Chain A
């Protein structure tokens, strides 16, 4: 005997989990006997930060933001994605404005910001600086020698002769001479800072080739970027962060990490290190490859 609505009907549509839920609840009789109905597809551990979820407001604000601890769980499914996270003291998130753009014209006066305060942000290793210009306040990532009262210059114009920048200023990569130490570097022009954002880190400008600038990241990887990518000058603050000891297991719990099992031992290097060639130059092209649409096929009788 067969019941009419049980007949498997094949449909093609873009996968929408909310719709799927409705259908499943309506056809509950069908799925009752199905094996492993509760299969869930979890996101990749690298797809996002699974430590905390920040409550972003609609408009930019310097008010420190509240956040929820995720303890390694995916907020959509509630399942553990990353192990070893959980607990810790709640910190507020300082929304750092990663887009530092200035005027692009040759004769335009550059944008000048005044540093008002340097403060700690519990959610990142580097310190943040509160800067103001006109009636707007924003946070940027602080450099090593930045102090309240400093004036920071920002310009997006690339002159013929490289500029002589001060620490904390922001210029396009093409406007800087080789050997300059930079941080908060854009991957694509206009997208906001992407490379070199952690405490004490800095990248070096190696050379210019036509319209592209080659920089060396702290990992020694060489990256070729567009000369219009903005970068800030200097080394990021809290340079001694890597020397700080956690000190005790309890302190590690305060930082939001759960206990690890097993005795970890550092490699001795007794048989030498494997010699590998240096990684090849990574070229970041402005034309991202066109991503084709992904479809999910549904078989209503089965899923």
Chain B
């Protein structure tokens, strides 16, 4: 006798299966039974609650038991949802290094409660950059630009290029100096040139690299400015304010709120203030900001506009000024004993944006406080093109104005400053 599965002699199984496949899906027909039973006071219980899949239920229990009895080697990190210990239902609006404001400079002016009195820098700077000149400064700067953009030996994979008109085309992969390194080289070398040429004045300044600030603000919502200064020039003496007071109106953004396009997060430390400015050198003299194309992006992935770049300078200036004020006069300071003035250089190593910010009060645009003041230049191109042309390094259309601005920013507030 064969001890295996019984095979049916007459194979009508196929027919049965066909029938089952067709007939197994049924739509229930509505009957009057529920109404009749309800009228007679008979309660209806869903029959499904008595149906169980015995095997499946047992397996589920086994798995649960295994999970309960596991003694894990490490503690799992808390999940980033509302079970997280730092979760707060009241969200925090964060402006970070990768953000740009959707409405650009106008929105930044309202956010920072700042007014631009006139186009260009304060008149005082014009006198400054006519007064100073380093020997052979333009030759030095041209060498610095070529050395930072072409001669540096680092070769890394650069981001993939895409042509929107030919989306299927694949460009050969580019290798070169990454934007972060390129910006860092050019700024630090220009700063070094100033320091080495101007001599013992540099003893009054401290250079800090990659300084991170976290500035909490209350603007009808929790707002936090989490920003990095790539290079910070700290000085012993504060810069003198350029104007006493200013009157004027902020730009009209209706129907937009000035907090639009900030990141919303729910896991955060409330009112956390981070600022490493302390001790003898507790004045921000100049902040150098990098514009890294791989980092700064619009949330909706369209190219960043020029006005958004200017807005980014202003937002960073404001954050550093508020951080400086808070670390100088205490975290809860509202009215400043004297204004805080700082300078800012924003660059992607081709264009340079020079701006000066004077913080008069920490009040937001809703309050009737003093307005802050902002001066800026347009974006100045240091050169038009800097490439290897058939193996020869070429620097086209060098602009000497850029370093004049740079030097005047460096010399502002030093003891060699011109006396009027």
Contacts and interface: CB of A to CB of B under 8 A. Distances in A.
B26 interface: yes
Contact of B167 (A39, A89, A294, A295): A89
A294 B24 CA distance: 10
A2 B5 CA distance: 7
B14 A35 contact: yes
Given A29-B5, A294-B28, A19 B56 contact: yes
Contact of B255 (A119, A133, A254, A290): A133
B89 interface: no
A137 B261 contact: yes
Nearest to A92: B301
Given A117-B300, A136-B260, A299 B20 contact: yes
Interface in A69-107: 89, 92, 94
Nearest to A89: B167
B5 A33 contact: yes
Interface in A108-143: 112-114, 116-117, 119, 130, 132-137
B6 interface: yes
B257 interface: yes
A302 interface: yes
Contact of B256 (A29, A63, A114, A250): A114
Contacts of A13: 48, 51, 53
A47 to B, nearest CB: 15
A151 B255 CA distance: 9
A297 B6 contact: no
Interface in B1-35: 1, 3, 5-7, 13-14, 16-17, 20-21, 23-30
Interface in A163-204: none
A22 interface: yes
A283 interface: no
B168 interface: yes
A303 B6 contact: no
Q: What's the dominant secondary structure at chain A's contact region?
A: mixed
A287 interface: no
B5 A19 contact: no
Closest CB pairs A-B (n = 6): A135-B257, A112-B255, A297-B24, A134-B257, A292-B28, A89-B167
B102 A132 contact: yes
Nearest to B60: A22
A114 B17 CA distance: 62
Contacts of A117: 300, 302
B56 A1 contact: no
Interface residues of B, number: 42
B256 A296 contact: no
A130 B300 contact: yes
Interface residues of A, number: 53
Contacts of B5: 3, 6, 29, 33
A227 B414 CA distance: 73
Given A63-B299, A116-B103, A297-B26, 13 more contacts: A1-B1, A1-B3, A22-B53, A64-B300, A119-B300, A132-B255, A135-B262, A137-B102, A137-B299, A290-B30, A292-B27, A292-B30, A297-B23
A23 interface: yes
Interface of B: 1, 3, 5-7, 13-14, 16-17, 20-21, 23-30, 48, 51, 53, 55-56, 59, 93, 102-103, 167-168, 254-257, 259-262, 299-302
Interface in A10-53: 11-15, 19, 22-23, 26, 29, 33-36, 39
A137 B3 contact: no
A29 B21 CA distance: 21
A298 to B, nearest CB: 7
A6 B6 CA distance: 10
A290 B30 CA distance: 10
A293 interface: yes
A243 B55 CA distance: 61
Among A29, A89, A135, the most chain B Cβ lie within 10 Å of the Cβ of A135
B17 A26 contact: no
Contact of A26 (B1, B55, B102, B168): B55
B256 A294 contact: no
A12 B28 CA distance: 13
16 contacts: A12-B51, A13-B48, A13-B51, A19-B53, A22-B56, A64-B300, A64-B301, A117-B300, A117-B302, A119-B300, A135-B260, A292-B28, A292-B30, A295-B26, A299-B20, A302-B17
A186 to B, nearest CB: 24
A134 B255 contact: yes
Contacts of A3: 5
Nearest to A64: B301
Nearest to A59: B264
Contacts of B102: 116, 132, 137
A239 to B, nearest CB: 21
A221 interface: no
A14 B21 CA distance: 15
Interface string A259-303: 000000000000000000000000000000010111111110011
Nearest to A120: B164
A250 B168 CA distance: 10
Contacts of A63: 299-301
Contacts of B257: 134-135
